[in-house]
Amino acid sequence: CIRDSIKAIYRKIHLFKIDIPNGPVLDEGIHVDAGTDVVVVDTPIGKVGLSTCYDLRFPELYRALRKAGAQVFLVPSAFTTVTGKDHWDVLLRARAIENQCYVAAAAQWGVHNSKRQSYGHSLIVDPWGAIVAKCSDKAPALATHSMDFEFLEKVRLNMPVWGHIREDLF
């Protein structure tokens, strides 16, 4: 039974809402309720922190995922073309660097309707912030990369920023 193989359920915490004058109105809250749980699941590839799309803009979530033991963040998304072209790679790389985790981001691409187009560019970022695999937005594709957890631990050991966080201030 498929239900028996489900390891975790994640409900998107940050719902996208935008109303651009003379442009699209997008409000996920009309259709769904925001989630309330930070989810990290043990998998055969390591401890995976779950998030979705607009969650990417909230670094506090990723800090909580790392605190809960995440080694990899999954970020399936449908970023709009307008924001994706300027923010997608930068935000994913920032989450990888500041948390010293791998980030795997599957991304929808193409035209949905006359008011909505998704950016695409699925990618994988290593804990140092290097993009190690990336898809274009021209055709269906699959990005793959081996997760090297010895490298992850080396990054964390050689740049021990997590030991320098001022929890007493924030």
pLDDT value of position 85 = 93
Tokens of 109: 């691409």
Could you tell me where the DSSP H helices lie in 68-139? 81-99
Backbone angles phi, psi at 164, to 5 degrees: -110, 0
pLDDT digits (tens, 9 = 90+) for 105-133: 999 988 888 778 889 999 999 999 999 99
Q: Is residue 95 helix, strand or coil? A: helix
Number of CB atoms found within 10 A of residue 156's CB: 18
pLDDT value of position 48 = 98
d(CA 98, CA 95): 5
pLDDT digits (tens, 9 = 90+) for 37-50: 999 999 999 999 99
pLDDT value of position 76 = 97
**Which of 7-11, 64-68, 110-114 tops mean pLDDT?**
64-68
